Structure formats: C-alpha cells, structure tokens
A and B are shown apart, each in its own frame.
Chain A
Amino acid sequence: MRRTPAELVGARPEPGHTIDFDGRPVPALPGQSIAAALWAEGILAWRTTRVNGRPRGAFCGIGACYDCLATVNGIASQRTCLLPAEPGTTVTTQEGHGRADLAV
C-alpha cells in the first residue's frame, strides 16, 4: 500500500463535505480548492474547449493558465484552482465559452 499525501503530512482534516459536480456528489475537505477536490476523485477534466471541443482540466494550478475554468454556482469561466470547494458548491462542466444561455 502506497503512502498518500495526507499520510505524508500527518493530516487530520476537519469533517469533510460534498460538492456537486454535474449532478454527482464529490467529497471535499475543508480548505481544498474545487480543482483539488476533483483531482482527489480522479476527475481530471471539467471543461471542453471552444474550438475543438477537447477536454481540459487544471494545468498550472496557480491561476495563470485558465485551463481549469468551469461553471461554478451558475457563473461561467471560474478558475477552479483558486476557488475553495465550499459545502454545496455546484460545479458544471463548461462547454465552449460557457455562455450558451446568452446565445452569443
């Protein structure tokens, strides 16, 4: 059995919660970003690109690359590597520019 990051740092997290990713509950720990909660579940893609419809997820992890954009609580193009996963946060896979409802 391999060691985990949590074991390495002796983590004893406060009680976790769930966020909603495309209608599916995903566990999150207090203080984790949305991107981190998704990675912990083995989810690496939560956006499809505007031009070729290719899957994307977190790339730079520090807010510089904008590859980790998703629709969060109904707001499109949010950087999930910067936003904390709060209890009840709703994350929706962003297709294209995420503003199809505006018909632009």
Chain B
Amino acid sequence: MPTSPSDTSAPYDLAVIGAGPAGLAAAVTAAELGLRCVLLDAGPRPGGQYYRHPAPGLGAAHPERLHHGWSAFTGLTGRLAASTVTHLTEHHVWTAERGEVWRLHATVGAGATGSAVVEAKAVLLATGAYERQLPFPGWTLPGVVTAGGAQAMLKAGLVLPGRRIVVAGSGPLLLAAASSLVSAGASVPAVVEAGNYLGYARGLGTLAANPAKLVEGVGHGATLLRGKVRLRRSSAVVEAHGTDRVTGVTVARLDAEWRPVPGTERRIDCDAVAVGHGLLPQIELATELGAETVLTADQTVALKVDEGLRTSLSGLWAAGETCGVGGADLAIAEGELAARVIAGAPVPAALRRRRDRRRAFAALMAAAHRPGPGWTDWLRPDTDVCRCEEVPVAAVREAVEELGATDPRTVKLLTRAGMGWCQGRMCGPAVACLSGSTELRPDSRPLSCPVPLAHLADGS
C-alpha cells in the first residue's frame, strides 16, 4: 500500500474521500477490481470516527473492547495493506474542482501547513457525519461534551471527561456511547433519550430483516444493565448546572412533541454530560458544486443518489452517511456497491439486498428519533444558540419576531449566529428551527475546512 502519490502525472481512476467504513470498503474493492485508487483522509490512521482507535504509541492490546464489529475493520485494513491503494493520511480535502478530470485540493498535516492536489477521473464522497446538537441552558459549560466526542476522545486518547457522566439527547449513538463509557470505568447515572422507541414498532418487518441490529441493541442493553444505568425515555436534559464546569443536570419528561412537562423536573448530580441528537451528513464538498439533496426521515439533508450511488453530478459517487445516516454495516455495503458500479463490475444480488435492508432500518431509526418541534420550550432567552459567536436565543428571536427574518440565512446575517469558527456546524439546525423555516436546505460552505491563505494563492 503506497502512502504517497507515486506518479503525479497521471490522474487516478478513482479518488475516495474519507477512510471510514464506507471509504475503506470502496477503496479496497475498487483496487481489487483493477482501478488505480487513492484514498484521502483527514485522520492519521484509517477508520474514520466509527473505527477511531488509539495511536500505536498507546500500546492498546485490545482496542476491540471499545468497538462493535472490530473484525470488519481489521478485515478492511488487512485488504488495504495488501492492496495497491495509495492511502494519503492527514490530507483534508477542502474543495473539489470539476472538469474532465477532478482536482482535489487538500491541506496536509495535523496543523494543515502543507498542501496537495490530487487528480482523479472519478470521486467517491465518503466523508461521514458529525453530530447534531440542540442547545439547552448550560450546554456551553466545560464538561458538557458531545456523545460522539466522548466516544472519540475515549477511543483515540483513552480518556474520559469525568467520572459520573449523564448521556442525553436522541438516537442509537447514546446507547453505544453509554455502553463504552461504562465499560471504561465511568458511572452513567442515566441515559436520557428524548424519543420513546415506540417508532420502531411501526417497522416490525424491517426489524426482523435486520437481526444483527437487534443483537447490537441487546448487547448495549446488557452492558447498561450491568453498569446499573437507568434509561429514561421521553425525557431530556433541560438545563446543565455549574459555574466553571458542570456539576449536575435537570432532567424533565417530554410530551410527544418534545415539550418539557412542567413539574416533572428532577436533578441528577454529575461531573460531565455527553449529549447529541442524531448525526448530520457531511456533504459540503458536493453541495458546493450543486449536487442535489434529499431530506431524510429525521430532518437532515443528505445527498441524492441513484441505485448505483451516483450523485446528480457526473463522476461523483457517494456512500455511507453522506447518503443519509445509517451506521457502519450500511456504509460498508454502500462503499462496496459504489466501487463495483464505478469499476463496471456486476453488483451481487446479496450485496444489494443487504444494502436495501440496512437502508430501510436507517429510515426506521431516523423516524423514531426525529426531533419534535417542542424542544425550543426548554430554551431561555439567555441560552447561547451559537457557541462560537455567543448569540443568545433572545437575539435570534428578535431577528425573527421584530426584524422579519424568515430563514436561517437572514438570521445569520442579522445576529452572526453561524458566522464563527465552526461555520454553523453546531448551531445550524437550531437556528433553522428557531427561524421558523420549514424548508431545510444544505448549508453553503465554499471551503470544507480552514485553509492557509498561501494555499489559496497557490491554487489560483
């Protein structure tokens, strides 16, 4: 497996962006089918967020104990090592240029000091997702972290944000996060899930067709039982307490619309909170070029793809979470499927069935954990919506109610919400909801990550 571009004069047949489950499966499959393939990833090691694991220097003898389905990962990395795929680590693609041949511009290194341009005839976007956050009073206190962030820091750095960690929000990631936090020695007094799981009952056939998903859920459940973790459904953390760091939370019951039910508040002491409300596909490299999108069942924007995982842009494919969040098994199936289509190889019927079953499960899961409109009732006027620019709820409401904003872009221009470092990645869904906009559109971000000005000058 080469780790630097061997011959920069000829474009690759395929560039895969992202070395998580979808990208790894796509790259090794494409190479095994004879394509000259390059795999670019922002991280120092393959795996993406799902298979994030300790650096070799940490000497972890059993990284699999922090993972589900680790053997699938070792299978993929084994094939990668034996393949002709050029794996470029710490290459963060910041823009993709369309043409006869695609030109991918990347920053290089952990500090993004270097730069690289990679050319390829086809591109597969496997950039995964990051977490959706809904604000609540106190959510900016140190010790309040994302559920995925707690997972990521544990998997890569073997550290915890505290000893007694409340896990809260919505979606299946909460059970996985709580399960690994407990296994690593934290106490988790409660998993607070805003949904009620009853949505899954609407898809019994889909559940029956995905026994592996049920086994996964039962496995997390057993760990949580052993760790004496209480699962509170139809509930939310409506406030985090503390001055310089979190010391506790208030949890309240929610009605079916996610409105807190008065009088049900209960305080739980803790020194950390891990929170998240589902995942958002990371698709800006494609939407910036005009790729068409679809709205998923949990109100996120994903790339529109056909049965061969082609996006609306010629020469651009997508796989995994970029097509709608659905987990690692689905991502691996889609990566392999897309690679076969790109290589002109047949798609086995069993692979297509596996992909379709997992997609159906993803839709069921998304519907079951879709945020209800009543969540805004737990906000207070001084609750920061935008963490970077410290824009409070009152300012956003003023923009909507007094200044006439009807969409998130106008709110952004009037309040600076979403104009800070993260470019609205954290506050975007909340601002869109508070703006009253019913039309969810992809965010517009010309560059996918910070780029030194010198790189932009070189690019011209």
A-side residues, CB < 8 A to B, are: 2-14, 29-33, 35-37, 39-40, 44-45, 49-52, 54-67, 69, 77-78, 81-84
* Cα–Cα distance between A69 and B57 once the two chains are bound (Å): 24
Contacting residues, chain A, for B149 (C-beta < 8 A)? 58-62, 81
Docked complex Cα distance between A54 and B387 (Å): 11
> Mostly helix, strand, loop or mixed at chain B's interface?
loop
Q: Does B171 contact A (CB under 8 A)?
A: no
Count, A-B residue pairs, CB within 8 A: 167
Q: Of the candidates B60, B140, B161, which one forms a contact with A56 in the assembled complex, judged by CB atoms under 8 Å apart?
A: B140
* Interface pair B65/A8, CB less than 8 Å apart: yes
Contact residues of B with A, CB < 8 Å? 42, 49, 54-63, 65-66, 110-111, 130-131, 140, 142-146, 148-154, 156-163, 183-187, 244-245, 387-390, 420-422, 425-426, 449
B-chain residues with CB within 8 Å of residue A4 when the two chains form the complex: 158, 184-185
Contact B158 A11 (CB under 8 A): yes
Given known contacts A9-B65, A54-B140, A32 and B130 CB-to-CB distance under 8 angstroms: no
- Chain B residues with CB under 8 A of A49: 390
Residues of A within 8 A of B111 (CB): 78, 83
Q: Give the nearest-CB partner of A66 in chain B.
A: B421
Q: Which residues of B contact A65 (CB under 8 A)?
A: 146, 387, 422, 425-426
Known contacts being A11-B59, A31-B55, is A60 close to B157, with CB within 8 Å? no
Contact (Cβ within 8 A) A14 B59:
yes
A12 to chain B: closest CB distance in Å? 4
Chain B residue at smallest Cβ distance from A15: B57
Most B C-beta atoms less than 10 A away, residue of A13, A39, A55: A39
Q: Complex Cα distance A45/B242, Å?
A: 13
Contact A66 B245 (CB under 8 A): no
Given contacts A9-B65, A36-B156, contact A60 B142 (CB under 8 A): no
Q: Would B58 and A11 count as touching, CB distance under 8 A?
A: yes
Given A29-B57, A56-B142, A59-B144 in contact, is the A69-B244 Cβ separation under 8 Å?
Answer: no
Interface contacts beyond A12-B61, A58-B149: sample of 19 additional A-B pairs, CB < 8 Å, sorted by A = A5-B154, A8-B184, A13-B58, A29-B57, A29-B158, A33-B153, A36-B159, A44-B245, A45-B142, A45-B245, A56-B140, A58-B145, A59-B144, A59-B146, A60-B131, A60-B148, A66-B388, A66-B420, A67-B387
How far is B150's CA from A11's CA once the two chains are assembled, in angstroms? 19
- Using CB atoms, name the residue of chain A closest to B131: A60
- Contact between A7 and B185, CB atoms less than 8 A apart: yes
The answer to whether residues A84 and B110 also contact, given A11-B58, A62-B148, A64-B130 and a CB cut-off of 8 A, is: yes
